[in-house]
Amino acid sequence: MPLPAMPSPAHRRTRADPSPAPSSLRRHVAPLDGLRGVAVLGVLFFHAGHFDGGFLGVDLFFVLSGFLITGLLLREARVRDGRIDLVAFWGRRARRLLPALAVMLAGTLLLVWALGPPYLLRHALDDGPWVAANLANWHFVADRVGYWDSAGTRPFSHLWSIAVEEQFYVVWPLVLCLVARGRGAGSRVAAVAGAGAAVSLVLMVALTTPADTTRVYEGTDTRAFSLLLGALAATSPVTRLTARVSERAAGRWSLVLGAGIGAYWVAADGQNSPSLFHGGLFLHALAAALLVACLARAPRTPAGRFLGAAPLRRLGTVSYSLYLWHWPVYLLLSEERLGLEGPPRTLVLLAVSVTLAWLSKVLVEDPVRFRGGWAKGRTGTIVLVAAFAALAALWTVVPQPRTGEGSVDVTRLVPDDG
Determine the pLDDT at residue 274.
Answer: 64
Residues 6+ apart with CB under 8 A from 281: 59, 204, 225, 226
Taking the chain, what is the end-to-end CA distance rounded to the nearest angstrom?
A: 23
Q: What is the dihedral of CA 99, 101, 102, 108, to 10 degrees?
A: 140
Which residues in the chain come in under a pLDDT of 50?
1-26, 405-418
Angle at which helix 86-115 crosses helix 319-332, to 10 degrees, equals 20
Q: Alpha-carbon distance 121 to 53, whole Å?
A: 29
Q: Alpha-carbon distance 85 to 98, whole Å?
A: 20
Determine the pLDDT at residue 25.
Answer: 39
Q: What angle do CA 301, 306, 309 make, to 5 degrees?
A: 120
Position 299, amino acid: P
Q: What is the dihedral of CA 349, 353, 359, 361, to 10 degrees?
A: -160
CA distances from 214 to 59, 154, 250, 396, 397 (A): 15, 15, 36, 29, 32
Give the domain ranges of the chain. 28-400
DSSP readout, 376-414?
SHHHHHHHHHHHHHHHHHHHHHSPPPP-STT---GGGGS
Each residue of 291-314: pLDDT tens digit? 999 999 999 999 999 999 999 999
DSSP readout, 319-348?
HHHHHHHHHHHHHHS-HHHHT--HHHHHHH
pTM, two decimal places = 0.88
SS3 for 296-321 is: HHCCCCHHHHHHCCHHHHHHHHCHHH
Q: Alpha-carbon distance 313 to 376, whole Å?
A: 28
Determine the pLDDT at residue 17.
Answer: 36
Determine the pLDDT at residue 286.
Answer: 98
Determine the pLDDT at residue 411.
Answer: 40
- Sign of the CA dihedral running 366, 371, 376, 379: negative
